[in-house]
Structure 1
Amino acid sequence: MKRLATIALAGLSAAALLSFTPPDDKKPKKIKYIDPANMDLSVKPGQNFYRYANGAWLKKNPVPASKTRWGSFDELREESSRRLRTLLEDAAKRSSEPAMQKVGDFYASGMDTAYIQQQRANPIRADLQRIDALTSPADFLNELAWERTQGMGGALFGFSVSQDRKKVDQYIPNISQGGISLPDRDYYLKNDARSTTVRNAFRQHVMRMFVLTGIGAREADRMADAVLRIETALAKSQMARVEMRDPYKTYNKYAVKDLTTLTPGIDWNQMLGKLKMTGVDSLIVSNPNFLRTVDILLTALPLEDWKTYLKWNVLNSTATYLSKDFEQESFSMRSVLTGQKEMTPRWQFISGVVDSQLGDQLGQMYVSRYFKPEAKQRMLDLVNNLQETFSNRIKGLTWMSEETKVRALEKLNAFTKKIAYPDKWKDYSSITISRTDLLGNVRRAAQWRYNEMIARFGRPVDRTEWGMTPPTINAYYSPVNNEIAFPAGILQFPFFDFGADDAVNYGGIGAVIGHEITHGFDDSGRQYAASGNLSDWWTKADADLFKQRADQVVAQYNGFTVLDTLHVNGRLTLGENLADLGGLNIAYEAFTKTKQFRDGKKINGFTPQQRFFLSWAQVWRSNSTDEALAQQILTDPHSPGEHRANGPIVNMDAWYAAFNVQPSDPMYKAPDARIRIW
């Protein structure tokens, strides 16, 4: 998800392109871009480059008790959180500006812990009583749909309205697998020690949560069994995450009448009506087998179990907004899953809630205070230059036919770029926000988003929408829009800094840009055409050659050991690993066009080439709890930091030359074994 590439502006360094000194930072901090004090010079670069580049930093920066991981991203997120806190605390002081008042009141409602404690389970009491009153499976399905329309989450399966992958100029309803509380189906299905520990802890957690609502221990124990039984049955019918990465396998279009044939126990015309959807003639189902299983379970299991399941979903989705005992119990389960030792500070948690619910308003405030307007165009110039570098690389590929190259270039040239923040902001004026109703605020904001989502249906696709808020420390590629986006939050050191030399900036933000560009051509992205439609534009011979090279990347990453017997899942992480490999190559080629590269002068003892790769490696420095690492391997399409740092470079001749890596070094790969794709 990172990359930095080609800046062909004669005489200008990347540092001249962007300047992000916040207006309220009176004195900019002195940054040591490549600091030997953070390195472990006792480790040879060819032995473990990640440890060589970051070893001392890793020793000095253990995971804080309130975190599950601590690294470059987390340092940036911490700074972003502090900025949001400043904005929110200012807004909470009764601003006269209505939009700011909303975010201020939302924040205040979450920080009023005395009132929240006083309310205990009262905010969900009516929900539990309403579910208790259900008398039939039809009532259950009606309640399920109604809860979605009220911003109360989505039990049993996922429902959304998004672009039709094969007709991206149209919106279509989507039904996806879901219904489980743990992060992955394997926690329910595997019997290894980790999975068993998590599963047993989950059952006890569900029981204790029910007890907190006033239910007796024996009844709560029975209810926990029912929840685990239902979720295990749902997990058994889910696709694995690797399967879910296949855009064709998850594209199953059904006419509404045919969907009712698939699931005779669910009247989809009625269900869609309850979901406030009208005029629907077809839907996309990501996993028909899952939906068939849901239908079977609805008949096979007693209504009381389903009522228990719905009550659990209410509890599970609201616990962090209720009194301290619910919040603490929710944290205890999270601690088992992630190894987190202390709860996230309240201000930080609530800042994140407001960002997730009223992201455009808070983002507008963030940009106004912390982002220089002229930087947006300058970042766009940099992206355009990196795009040109990739274009030249495609033209020079020896394994791809001219026919496929033409289509690849057509797709690349059709990219849309989104930089820093949206050109238009969402209007939240119709949302009622109270200073004394945290859960109500969350639900009303979620209800607004649900209504916004279903209102898309039948309208032209709005390609101006963003998938992330401006303060987000991340970037993304959207295949259906064929667009790359870089929120304001990521345009900071270690990715970018106006005072850094080109090597540092190209190893950082250049790699981010190249990474996102390459996502359009990874194993999934390559299956979408320039228009964004899911469409095969490759010759069979070229597709086969690509798959052969991609399989080499899978094999390479499968060989990385993360934790005792746990290895990186090379198939699950393939898209991200391909983007890292392609993006870093693009960034390096762009860097070779700079004056710094041509001059070759050392800074603090390191050549420009060495500083480029050291910058790349320091982006990925990170310590994690064992529990968080184990969960990452199971659920995350990104490889752990050490392997993101080391994985691509062993395939790049320039890295070997920069650090004089020899055949006797553990990381050495023979030239003919180095993987070259984009």
Structure 2
Amino acid sequence: MQRTSWILAAAVAMALSACSPSSNSDQQKTATPAASAPKPATAATVAAKPDSGVDMAGIDHSVKPGDNFFDYANGAWLKTATIPDDRSSIGNFLTIYERTQKRIDDIIENTAKSNPAAGTDDRKIADYYAAYMDTAAIEKMGLQPIQPELDAIAKIKNRKELAEVLGSRLRQDEDPVNNTDFHTDHLFGLFVAQGLTDPSHNIAYLLQGGLTMPSRDYYLSDDKAMAGFRDKYKAYIAALLKQAGTPNAEAEAKRVFDLEMKIAKAQESLVDSQDVHKANNLWSMSDFAKKAPGLDWNAYFKAAGLSDQKVIDVWQPKAFAGLSKLVADAPLADWRALLRFHTLDEHAGLLPQAYADLAFDFHGKTLTGVPKQQPREKRAIAATSYALGDAVGKLYVKQYFPPEAKKQVEDLVNNLVAAFGSRLDNLEWMTPATRAKAKEKLDTLKVFVGYPDAGHWRNYDGLKVSADNPLANAMAVSKFNYDFALSKLGKPVDRADWWMTPQTVNALNIPLENSLNFPAAILQPPFFDPKADPAHNYGAIGAIIGHEISHSFDNMGSQFDAQGRMHNWWTPADAKHFKEATQKLVDQFNQYVALPGLHVNGEQTLGENIADVSGLTAAYIAYHKSLNGKPAPVIDGLTGDQRFFLSFGQAWRSKMREAALRQRVNTDVHAPPQFRAETVRNLDGWYKAFDVQPDQKLYLKPEQRVQIW
């Protein structure tokens, strides 16, 4: 379940200001042509003297580009940028996100003023927002909205009843393939998509869960900072339970923490979880009792609505065996304490203020270093946009994403796909057999820009929204989304479905469907500006588009064929070369130090780093082809290549709080932005553009530069 509180807004803020386009997403079908000579981007002919798109004032000329390109491109900005008190970071993603949220705020306000009819999507938007803002009602209701859940937990008297409660809490809240999301505080998480080796229909995937803190490392790491988080977490558990009137709150808190420690030890690591070959484990319903004894699986699946499934893919089998054993071995009193705490924590943001303050103090201040909670109206906007995503999205694109903008981006995408194709044609290391399969995959890649087509918007007819009970609304949305996921099971895969809403500031590659999503909200300045110089658009949004295309060929995407089937289409020689090249990238990122003693994990971030290198390479090729053999103009004293690389470096502009940076390194498959900007050191053109010399810190010998695609 998505957290129903400040956590949604805080997570979005962190993801947008500290993260990247994720590795995959959701709707609108645009067939991508086979690789061919790209057309000049529309932006190239907008004006005789276009805006360079580069923030000249943000450059720090005291830094040599070859020593620290991120600081060169952003150093002057970094010296004056101040992270807002209610944010964990600041940067270009946050700039776009805030602009988008202001637009959504206007949409919601205007929708409410129109007094929409009962039962319409517009009425639901207005009521959801109004309920979220009704703090008086929240204080008056107290724990009443979640009392049925708390009562069910208190009544657990045997292992079957425990299994029933655990099953009733299952939600679609993990996504291991598209969004690389491996976390849920429920014991297990659900993901619904086509089978890894059978692209014909949707199946259920179950993944490990059970922890409140961001990852198992927060429980098991010997790092002093992590130990400090554990101490504060123990205090938070006790405080929240005490606030809810729990007898012996300190003793109950110890039960919760000790059980979560056991859960953490049973879980698989993030690196292992990312290995898709370890995830292809189809279990029949009878296999669960044999391979993961301890949990009453029949009771669990009946409560979860999964009893009719013939097979389920178990993503982390060892973890399931360990977690199921804990269900059998840990005292029922421990499980009751844990479930009670998890229920309070999950919903704290929409409980009375005392609960919300405790939750923010730990999840916000402690874990991400954010000193101040966002204003309630901002949280309400984010929550409404999430809950009624497509309903809000329809209104958003109507006002802010005209057809001509969609056409310009589609042209840019086609240029990037063509550039990637030309790169495939000229890879010296690739054998003809592997090249043919790679070209087939690229030629059948489906690209969706902006928003879903008319037949693929979500229908909210079955969702009941109250104007005065925000927590009931949030829980209803969670169940509504879960039921929607269940309704897809066993049915043919709809490859025109979207996995993101139009107002999402992100982009997505969907390996199982061999498709891309570029929501409308990310297609705006400073990433995309139809009035800006092509070098800027190719360096910023072009690199992001190239990044998503490249995910089809990263360490995970390369394991899927043109139909989205997990299939080895590599010759042994090509697979060996790919492994060696990607290992160089692992080694390169392992050298980056985010905080004293805290290195980036090159293996954990490999897929995103491959996409950055390959995406930037494709964008650079596409930019040069868009010039049609003509020299790029000098603008603001910068050559075309300098503007291209500076636009890339400034796209990753970010300043982050230490706690948030630590969480990023420990839990995210994306490297911190300052290191992603240094991707430029792998492209020969960057060395020429900025006269980078061997004695400078980022210099790599030509044979050390990573060139995969």
**Which range, TM-score by smaller chain?**
over 0.9
Work out the number of aligned pairs and report it: 662
Match of 1:588 in 2: 620
Is the CA contact (8 Å cut-off) linking 1:401 and 1:542 kept in structure 2?
A: yes
Q: Secondary structure at the match of 2:278?
A: coil
1:118 Cα deviation after fit:
2.5
Of 499, 514, 528, the residue aligned with 1:482 is 514
Of 247, 261, 266, the residue aligned with 2:290 is 261
Cα deviation, 1:107-147, whole Å, max 9, x if unaligned, reads 00001112212223232233222321222111111122223
Match of 2:384 in 1: 354
1:150/1:257 CA distance change after superposition, 3 Å? closer
2:386 and 2:255 mapped to 1: Cα distance? Answer: 32
Q: Secondary structure at the match of 1:62?
A: coil
The reply on whether 1:56 has 2:85 as its aligned counterpart is: no
The reply on whether 1:307 has 2:333 as its aligned counterpart is: no
2:167 and 2:697 mapped to 1: Cα distance? Answer: 57
For residue 377 of structure 2, what is the amino acid of its counterpart?
W
Match of 2:701 in 1: 670
For residue 535 of structure 1, what is the amino acid of its counterpart?
H
Structure 1 segment 12-411 matched on structure 2, within 5 A:
13-14=42-43, 33-93=53-113, 95-97=115-117, 98-148=120-170, 155-216=186-247, 219-334=248-363, 335-411=365-441
1:371 Cα deviation after fit:
0.9
Cα deviation, 1:168-220, whole Å, max 9, x if unaligned, reads 2222222111000010101111222111111111111011111111224xx11
Q: TM-score, normalised by structure 1?
A: 0.94
Match of 2:480 in 1: 448
Match of 1:420 in 2: 450
Is the CA contact (8 Å cut-off) linking 1:251 and 1:284 kept in structure 2?
A: yes
For residue 667 of structure 1, what is the amino acid of its counterpart?
L
Q: Secondary structure at the match of 2:115?
A: coil
For residue 330 of structure 1, what is the amino acid of its counterpart?
A
1:672 Cα deviation after fit:
2.2
Is the CA contact (8 Å cut-off) linking 1:400 and 1:542 kept in structure 2?
A: yes
Is the CA contact (8 Å cut-off) linking 2:60 and 2:75 kept in structure 1?
A: yes
Match of 2:4 in 1: none
Match of 1:24 in 2: none
1:277 Cα deviation after fit:
2.6
2:131 and 2:110 mapped to 1: Cα distance? Answer: 14
Q: Secondary structure at the match of 1:364?
A: helix
1:355 Cα deviation after fit:
1.8
Match of 2:537 in 1: 505
2:645 and 2:121 mapped to 1: Cα distance? Answer: 44
Using the TM superposition, name which of 6-15 and 322-331 deviates more.
Answer: 6-15
1:7/1:528 CA distance change after superposition, 3 Å? closer
1:545 Cα deviation after fit:
0.6
1:11 Cα deviation after fit:
6.2
For residue 373 of structure 1, what is the amino acid of its counterpart?
P
1:574 and 1:553 mapped to 2: Cα distance? Answer: 7
1:596 and 1:233 mapped to 2: Cα distance? Answer: 61
1:350/1:233 CA distance change after superposition, 3 Å? same
Is the CA contact (8 Å cut-off) linking 2:171 and 2:189 kept in structure 1?
A: no
1:403/1:445 CA distance change after superposition, 3 Å? same
For residue 71 of structure 2, what is the amino acid of its counterpart?
R
Q: Secondary structure at the match of 1:654?
A: helix
Using the TM superposition, name which of 404-413 and 163-172 deviates more.
Answer: 163-172
Using the TM superposition, name which of 98-107 and 166-175 deviates more.
Answer: 166-175
Q: Secondary structure at the match of 1:174?
A: strand
2:99 and 2:676 mapped to 1: Cα distance? Answer: 23
Q: Secondary structure at the match of 2:65?
A: coil
Is the CA contact (8 Å cut-off) linking 1:419 and 1:486 kept in structure 2?
A: yes
1:307 Cα deviation after fit:
1.1
2:51 and 2:124 mapped to 1: Cα distance? Answer: 37
Using the TM superposition, name which of 153-162 and 205-214 deviates more.
Answer: 153-162
Is the CA contact (8 Å cut-off) linking 1:7 and 1:590 kept in structure 2?
A: no
1:381 Cα deviation after fit:
2.4
1:9/1:302 CA distance change after superposition, 3 Å? closer
Of 647, 650, 664, the residue aligned with 1:618 is 650
1:337 and 1:272 mapped to 2: Cα distance? Answer: 34
Q: Secondary structure at the match of 2:276?
A: coil
1:10 Cα deviation after fit:
5.9
2:514 and 2:172 mapped to 1: Cα distance? Answer: 32
Match of 1:439 in 2: 471
Using the TM superposition, name which of 280-289 and 629-638 deviates more.
Answer: 280-289
CA RMSD of aligned residues (A): 2.1
1:238/1:31 CA distance change after superposition, 3 Å? farther
For residue 50 of structure 1, what is the amino acid of its counterpart?
F
Q: TM-score, normalised by structure 2?
A: 0.90
1:83 and 1:261 mapped to 2: Cα distance? Answer: 53
Match of 1:650 in 2: 681
1:208/1:597 CA distance change after superposition, 3 Å? farther
1:66 Cα deviation after fit:
0.5
Residue segments in structure 2 that go unaligned for 5+ positions in a row: 1-19, 23-31, 174-183
1:16/1:472 CA distance change after superposition, 3 Å? farther
Is the CA contact (8 Å cut-off) linking 2:70 and 2:677 kept in structure 1?
A: yes
2:79 and 2:172 mapped to 1: Cα distance? Answer: 48
1:8 Cα deviation after fit:
5.8
Cα deviation, 1:142-181, whole Å, max 9, x if unaligned, reads 1222234799x87211133322111122222221110000
2:600 and 2:199 mapped to 1: Cα distance? Answer: 33
1:270 and 1:11 mapped to 2: Cα distance? Answer: 60
1:7 and 1:108 mapped to 2: Cα distance? Answer: 51
2:326 and 2:381 mapped to 1: Cα distance? Answer: 39
1:380/1:149 CA distance change after superposition, 3 Å? closer
1:307/1:10 CA distance change after superposition, 3 Å? closer
1:369 and 1:433 mapped to 2: Cα distance? Answer: 25
2:88 and 2:190 mapped to 1: Cα distance? Answer: 30
Cα deviation, 1:82-121, whole Å, max 9, x if unaligned, reads 1111111222336325211101100000011122122232
Cα deviation, 1:270-324, whole Å, max 9, x if unaligned, reads 4322222343221111112211112221222211111111111211110011111
Match of 1:26 in 2: none
1:213 and 1:94 mapped to 2: Cα distance? Answer: 40
1:521 and 1:32 mapped to 2: Cα distance? Answer: 32
Q: Secondary structure at the match of 2:264?
A: helix
1:37/1:536 CA distance change after superposition, 3 Å? same
Is the CA contact (8 Å cut-off) linking 1:142 and 1:274 kept in structure 2?
A: yes
2:153 and 2:307 mapped to 1: Cα distance? Answer: 26
1:449/1:267 CA distance change after superposition, 3 Å? same
1:385/1:143 CA distance change after superposition, 3 Å? same
For residue 489 of structure 1, what is the amino acid of its counterpart?
A
Is the CA contact (8 Å cut-off) linking 1:422 and 1:465 kept in structure 2?
A: yes
Match of 1:23 in 2: none
1:596 and 1:164 mapped to 2: Cα distance? Answer: 44
Is the CA contact (8 Å cut-off) linking 1:7 and 1:594 kept in structure 2?
A: no
1:17/1:479 CA distance change after superposition, 3 Å? farther
